[in-house]
Structure 1
């Protein structure tokens, strides 16, 4: 690109110089020619005024002094030289001047001017002045050389300016190309920086937005396998618990109840996979959230498994709950994570309560366990088998993606997780106090 800008600028400047220099050079040559002819006319006119009435009596001493290379002669009416230097017989300008008009021209490489002596009615002779045209050519050539030098300086200055301009224009584009190559190689942290060139900065801003979106999408895609494995592991554990409970209560010759329970569990796992795929690939949904259907589905899906483990599930929903928006799929996964956490790490009865928290819909999930460690961030991602792992991390990320908040409202005793769901309109969901929300 730099070479193209430099080449285009040089071509434009050369064309401009030629368009101005060629006519100017011709005009300079004509100007110098007219200047020389005018000088010769002045010399011839002074000589003609000094000529006597009878031209052959012209005194050679009366001829003005001329410089080297200049010839001055006086001719009679027969075009014969009377005095001075010049051809013995007058040439064409001399013969034309005898008719009463001033004549000028170039003959044999010399500029010639012939001025009649006397009036147009009675011409008594002619004064001829000539000068070599070499000086005219030298003068024009010197001027042309000066003009050529200025043209070279102009072209050089234009080249320098175009070189700086090409660097200034090319640097943002080269930086954008380098950023695009880094993004292509997989470095999604690469970002374009502004250079003060509006067009390139707009492209850089669009590239940065695209990179950020790709980074977010790629992170969600990468997290999908871990999230899916955790959720499916939870669903498989619940299925195993239900099957063991059915096998313990059903007759050995009637496995249909256990088979139905297994099919229902497989359906729930299919729903889990569909939900996670949708949440990993789509933008957050801002549709109204059906809380009644959500808690009813939660009761239906989790009551059997908890009762099989000798624990109870209580679902309480207040009347006239605030309206909320969000993804039904995300809400189902969040409640599954919180209930699975209570079933795995908690004790006693599990309570799910939907309530009005100062105009914001809140859902509490608590159990009768001893509590959570005070110095532990339960939302931090940790390897499986080390207590609270990927499930709560997934739940918080889903809640924050939907514009809500998830925090521990009570650590001990009887730990309680509170989920504030984004409202349909109005201000953002309120933040929890620092002493009740652990640092994420």
Structure 2
């Protein structure tokens, strides 16, 4: 019974909240939208007047786009309707003077999203009507359910519900069931009306198919360039490590063997010492080559998959790391490698900056998305803009359409959520979890 009451209360609360939000949205957008619409039309009409229209239009457009961005944000927050920004990126242009102002006007007028914003502003009366409808149903239901019973003795000739006049208390009591039904209709319809409005808003404020494709091309161009740069930097690192490490040791090894060859008949003891040094140098070179290979693609990742590789990595850290990985299969090798190195980078950041005593790694695959979460109990304050580690993770995952989200308030905890779109193959029979 308690659960039913809680669900009913939550349902009523959602309906009332949606009715209030819809009404406030309708009124606020009606006032601000029509004001900006008038200013936008005025600025367009003044374009032939140099120095007036070309200066006013960009200012009004900034305000219109700010209002549209806020509407997109509210649609995602209130109804879960995500509306990406459709605007074209600003091209390079003069910053000052009439030439720069005219270039900005041409950029604005050449963006189809500008005209879709104009159509959206024309819908301000519809927004107000939908907001009033939901709020009116709830308000009228509250009137018949709560207000009328308290004022029955003062009511004379009042019309409610189906429209008959209420001349005495009994007729007022009969109106109460109507108020309950109207209130229920308002509570049920307010969230639906708000979602309907948010979805219709997406048709105007969201990118068109062509705009979405253009944005996709820009994103792919940017991520490809970042990936190429990252690969070039990685190749330079490998070249530097080989040159300064294994290559130098192998050169020294060759010299030691050459000297030992000259001394083997004249001074066997010295030759034996050089051979021992050569053996140590070869061991160090082999160790450095193995470290280099692990930095490129750890053998444990190829042999045991993401689960085994992350657990092996966790054992090398100076504090306990709880690893909880539950996958029904393995991602493709490039995606698996990107996920492993992203987790490794996140844990490296924990070691370097967090002052943490514990860390947690959680990996799940849900809805064709590999979700990797790394958290710690450290001091927080991680900021992708201030360091290269998080930016490196973003670049690495962006090559596979992956994303990185960071929550790190001062004082902690820090939570890094990384998502990679992928499919799993080679299903395994048992998931695993535990502490590394």
Task: Using structure 1 for the length normalisation, give the TM-score.
Answer: 0.31
Structure showing the higher helix proportion among its residues: 2
Task: Using structure 2 for the length normalisation, give the TM-score.
Answer: 0.31
Greater relative contact order (CA < 8 Å, ≥ 6 in sequence): 2
Structure of greater Rg: 1
Structure showing the higher strand proportion among its residues: 1
